[in-house]
Amino acid sequence: MMSKISVKGGNMHPVYKFLTKEAENGVISSSVSWNFQKYLINSDGQLARVISPRTQPDDPKVISWIEN
C-alpha cells in the first residue's frame, strides 16, 4: 500500500491508467501534474471528478462533493 509506483510513462500503475485515460474510466482523460492530484471516485467505483493538486483537501468544492 505504501510502495512507490509509477504514475506516468510505460510503467504506469493500473490504477493510474484507469484514473487518467478516458478509454479506461469512461469520463475524462487527465494527467498527473504534481503530488496530491485528487481523483474523486463515487460509490459505484466510477471516476467522478479530477481536482488540481493545488486545491486543498478541505476546499469547499471537495467537501461539498463528499457530503452530497
Give the start-to-end residue ranges of the domains of the chain.
14-67
Share of the chain above pLDDT 70, in %: 99
> Which pTM value belongs to this model?
0.81
Query: Which pLDDT band holds residue 35 (cuts at 50, 70, 90)?
Result: confident
**Segment 46-62, tens digit of pLDDT:** 999 999 999 999 999 99
Report pLDDT for 16: 94
What is the per-residue burial (b if ≥16 Cβ within 10 Å, else e) of 20-40? beeeebeeeeeebeeeebebe
